[in-house]
Amino acid sequence: MGGVASTPRWSSNAQQQQHTAEYLIGAFIGDISFPINSEYWQHLLLLPFDHHWPSHRYHQACLIFAQNNCFTRHLAKILIHLAWCLQALVGTSGVQSEALTKAVNALHISSVFLQYLIENAKGNTNEELYLSMDDSESLPDNFPRDQSIAHFVMDSVLSCIGLVDVSSDTYLLHHGLLNFMLVAMSTQLLSGPSPGPDDSHPFTDAAMVQKKDVINLAVRRLLLNYIARSQFPSTIASYAIFAEGNQPGVLQRVGSAAANLVLLPLSFIVSSSGEASRSLVAESSLNILLILIHFRKCVVPEPGKLEFDGNAKSDSLLKEQTYSFENPYCKALENARDVEFDHADIERNARGGPSIPFASLFDTLGMSLADEGAVLILYSLIHGNADFLEYVLVRTDLETMLIPLLEILYNAASSRSNQIYMVLIILLILSQDSSFNASIHKLILPTVPWYKERILSQTSLGSLVVIFLARTLKYNQSELRDVYLHTNCLAILANMAPHVHHLSAYASQQLVSLFDMLSRRYTKLAELKNDKMHTFNGESKDGDSLPDDMQSSELHVYTDFLRIVLEILNVILTYALPRNPEVVYAILQRQEKFLPFKSHPRFNELLENIFTVLDFFNSRIDAHKLEGEWSVEKVLEVIIFNCRSWRGEGIKMFTQLRFTYEQESHPEEFFIPYVWQLVMKRSGYRFNPKSINLFPVDNPVEISYVSQEAAKDENNGSDNEVQLDQVV
């Protein structure tokens, strides 16, 4: 094994046989090493792959390749040829069909075998991929001596993505580039949810140390791809990688986890179904961008710089003292600037971020927010990019973005919890701006057709936000009991409170009903605590114990929640009562709900203001009761009339609550697993579930890509070795 083959002579007699898929693929996976400059590589990459292999033969081919790659280094060699092909495309003014075919074929072949090696890696991925040349073979002169093969390839891939436009000629190329990056960066699936200094991600690490201009161009292209949403061109069937007609070519027929996504069948790509009609390049671009911007490389300080505490556990101490390198893709996204102001903004130009059409990006996101990936990239933009956040805040059509987000909250029962979190964080960030809080009450929507509980007509966008936040709180209270979700909903309402303007009757009722809902839970917890205290202090049986710590903690949390709701109502009554008669009416309607808490030490100050308002309006209403028949409309008329004479006498002024969003100290522990779960869900990307350590996999089942015949061959083999003549 591991012999070095001389350059084959492609004679006329042997040419037809040697050019077949069986020979060339068989030589690629076999135990004979072809030199990097061998003519073999040119023939392999120009091969019209129109031969049909059953799926189990591909699995066997991957097994053989894994056994021999350590000797042949064919993965490293095809990656070098891939980089050369991409450099040739970038370096020419027009797209050359031969260079394009070679690049597409190199992408597909390397992606198939690379994924198999990654998902079957047992230890250090970098070592098991053998991304280096054998000592007996020197590197070619046109290979940079100061770079690793992974760095060389990722430089070429990212440069090609950034510099080659997406067209009908290059669509398949870009599709292959993005799928190759997905496969190459899938080493993250092998690591745990908390990045560690020993994690091995050769291609992702290489992507993180590329030049700034390469990164900016790549981020720009990925966003432009997402905006453009180019469809798969109908002329794509002319590529040699596909067979004639709608039959899948040789690599498309790979049924294994190593290739079933990477090489989509033409019949799927050009299908007229809704699922297949999505823009593959747009969706893949978003996936790659999300993976790139949320990756973090864990670094441990030098031994001499570690601070030790004898009382701290070593694991927690190590985690506290680790840090992450600044992610250049995240930085590029944060520094992205609007193409409309690119030339005028000298300060932004100095930072050197990519130039993006914000208007088109805003419109695309508004149409796509039903997709969880769009919600996550919107979060990344408004949290990290101050210019894009400012652009969103000055838009006069905020409903374009807010209505899809509110619809996600409306469908919370069928949405993933992480998606709900992202929506609430987006709303929290937006609510930190006073102009946003004021403007959403000026936007009137004629109807909300997807809201089924009642007809919402001529309702302000601000009222809708209150309605759906209250609805989310009630759903969380009954189903999820998630304190984090409760806190974010109340924080948004608190930020909005000083700017509430003509809140609708339904929104006012929902807001006031929050106090009733939370007070019932608080009362129940308080009664349980008192019962346990009485039991403990009385003649209790053996085994009785003090009140449960968790119950006491929950009681404390609900005390805080009730206080926040009271502060929200106080702020509205203090600063916005004259323009919110419906809120006054809703409080009057449920005034008995506040009485049990009037003397509570945590609530009495806030309730004094509420009862001052209640006394004022109750006295006015009582004065009008003698005038005849009484109705809801007449009560509201009295409230509206007396709102004009309200001067706030007796109201105590409290400091307004103001909430801001801050990421946790180690956000990667949430975002990296979340992004990969999302990407695999969005793309259909399949990875051996038994190899995934990044997030828990429910009931992992071995992917059935091996036929019974192939499985039988494996079980009968020695140490899982498969002979080449079984495949070719």
Q: For 439-466, write each residue's pLDDT tens digit.
A: 999 999 999 999 999 999 999 999 999 9
User: Any idea what DSSP says for residue 194?
Assistant: S
- Of 189-203, 369-383, 620-634, 693-707, highest mean pLDDT: 369-383
The arithmetic mean of pLDDT across residues 76-85, rounded, is 95
| Alpha helices, H only, 593-706 | 604-624, 632-643, 668-683
pLDDT of 7 over the 70 cut: no
The answer to whether the beta carbons of residues 330 and 207 sit under 8 Å apart is: no
**Residue 701's pLDDT band (boundaries 50, 70, 90)?**
very low
More confident residue, 278 or 307: 278
**Residue 25's pLDDT band (boundaries 50, 70, 90)?**
confident
pLDDT of 543 over the 60 cut: no
More confident residue, 128 or 489: 489
| Alpha helices, H only, 371-413 | 372-384, 386-394, 399-410
Q: What are the angstrom distances between the C-alpha of 570 and each of 248, 495, 652?
A: 67, 13, 9
More confident residue, 467 or 50: 467
**Residue 252's pLDDT band (boundaries 50, 70, 90)?**
very low
More confident residue, 176 or 139: 176
pLDDT at 323: 58
Element (H, E) at 126: helix 125-129
pLDDT of 301 over the 80 cut: no
**Residue 467's pLDDT band (boundaries 50, 70, 90)?**
very high
pLDDT at 563: 95
**Residue 353's pLDDT band (boundaries 50, 70, 90)?**
confident
The arithmetic mean of pLDDT across residues 146-163, rounded, is 94
**Residue 710's pLDDT band (boundaries 50, 70, 90)?**
very low
pLDDT of 383 over the 80 cut: yes
Token pair 């000629």: residue:
169
Structure-token pair, residue 513 = 């009903």
More confident residue, 20 or 285: 285
pLDDT mean across residues, the chain: 82
Residue 440 has phi, psi (to 5 degrees) of -70, -20
Token pair 């003698």: residue:
626
The fraction of the chain above a pLDDT of 70, given in percent, is 77
**Residue 677's pLDDT band (boundaries 50, 70, 90)?**
very high
pTM tops 0.75: yes
Beta bridge partners of 460: 444
Separation of first and last alpha carbons in the chain: 18
- Cβ atoms < 10 Å from Cβ of 147: 15
pLDDT at 325: 77
The closest alpha carbon to 76, from 113, 142, 131, belongs to 131
The arithmetic mean of pLDDT across residues 164-192, rounded, is 93
pLDDT at 303: 55
- Cβ atoms < 10 Å from Cβ of 12: 6
CB contact burial 620-649 (16+ within 10 A = b; e otherwise): ebeeeeeeeeeeeeebbebbeebeeebeee
Q: 481-495, 540-554, 583-597, 710-724: lowest mean pLDDT where?
A: 710-724
**What pLDDT digit, counting tens, does each position of 391-437 carry?**
999 999 999 999 999 999 999 989 889 999 999 999 999 999 999 99
The answer to whether the beta carbons of residues 535 and 544 sit under 8 Å apart is: yes
pLDDT at 347: 53
Instruction: Count how many Cα atoms sit within 13 Å of the Cα of residue 687 in the half-sphere of its side chain.
Output: 30
pLDDT of 703 over the 60 cut: no
Element (H, E) at 280: helix 280-294
